[in-house]
Amino acid sequence: MRTIKHSIKAFKINMGGTILDQALPFKGVDQIDPFLLIHHWKDELKGGEHQSTVGVGPHPHRGFSPVTFIFQGGVHHRDSLGTSEVVYSGGTQWMNSGSGIVHSERPAKELAEDGGTFEIIQFWMNAPAKHKMDEASYQPYSKEDTPLIISEDKKVETYVVAGELEDKKGPAIAHSDVLILRLNMQKDGYKEIAIPESYNALIYQLEGKIKVGEKEFEGKNLIHFNNDGTSIAVKALEDTKFIVLSGAPINEDVSAYGPFVMNTEDEIRQAIIDYQNGKMGILTENFD
């Protein structure tokens, strides 16, 4: 069983006026290869707003995969590929930004207009150099699209988003070897998860109280494991939700600037020029 290397409580940051919980990067740790960033956004939308005034407007990406898990509400994704797609609670939006894409991420129209709880996690996953300039792609998956493993006592639901666990294969197409899971656990639920020892692995806990080894964690925690075993185990002390991010390290240099993640500073400068020249596409949002 793997032991814990780091554990931190997520901290508040201000992203253009939106207050989020950030779990990665944190002080002294820029990445847990191949994972670069984890943002947790939970908000109560007041309603009475036009969709165009909420969420995150058009912005570019290159060189990595921004992935969004929707826990409450819905996210409307639009992009320069011509996509316009809403994914609701339990679903995943998986984007391989490749050589460049412009997209927007806004709460669903009914949330903007009527109000309600909006909760998502977005994590950034690096792409190997050989895939950084691939054609961009967008993959939406509903809760029903995501393979589910239910424990014998019915207390643990494990959704396999990418990679393979217990003969269930996740639908998402990644550019490196990963195992990406979403778990819902009732009090006293227990789950041991097999993860290759070579994979870096972490848990981000959204809510509730869990026990990992001899340590207890409550709410918004990142738990990073050592590579000293082939499984991790979690017991729920209260009803809880958490995600598991694990993957083979890419072991390449990372140069990042805002929405671009490349291998060198020259590549970052080229990304900025390409975006400014419209080479990542143009997104004109259309609202009903």
CATH number among 3.30.2290.10, 3.40.50.360, 2.60.120.10, 3.40.50.150, domain 4-247: 2.60.120.10
Q: What percent of the chain has pLDDT over 70?
A: 100
Neighbours of 9 (CB within 10 A): 13
How far out from the chain centre does Cα 61 lie?
15
SS3 (DSSP) at 191? strand
What distance in Å separates the CA atoms of residue 267 and residue 124, rounded to the nearest whole number? 18
Residue 16 has pLDDT above 90, yes or no: no
Average pLDDT of the chain, as a whole number: 97
The predicted model gives 214-224 an average pLDDT of 96
- Give per-residue pLDDT as tens, 157-190: 999 999 999 999 999 999 999 999 999 999 999 9
**At residue 76, what is the residue type?**
H
The predicted model gives 225-246 an average pLDDT of 98
Query: Can you give the pLDDT at residue 133?
Result: 98
For 194, phi then psi, to 5°, come to: -80, 125
The predicted model gives 211-222 an average pLDDT of 96
- Give per-residue pLDDT as tens, 105-129: 999 999 999 999 999 999 999 999 9
The predicted model gives 135-147 an average pLDDT of 98
What is the residue extent of each domain of the chain?
A: 4-247
Contact call for residues 232 and 211 (beta carbons, < 8 A): no
Confidence of residue 18 (pLDDT cuts 50, 70, 90): confident
Please, what's the b/e burial string for 17-44 (b: 16 or more CB within 10 A of its CB; e: otherwise)? eeebbbbbebeeeebbbbbbbbbbbbbe
Query: Can you give the pLDDT at residue 5?
Result: 97
Token digits for 58? 């058009």
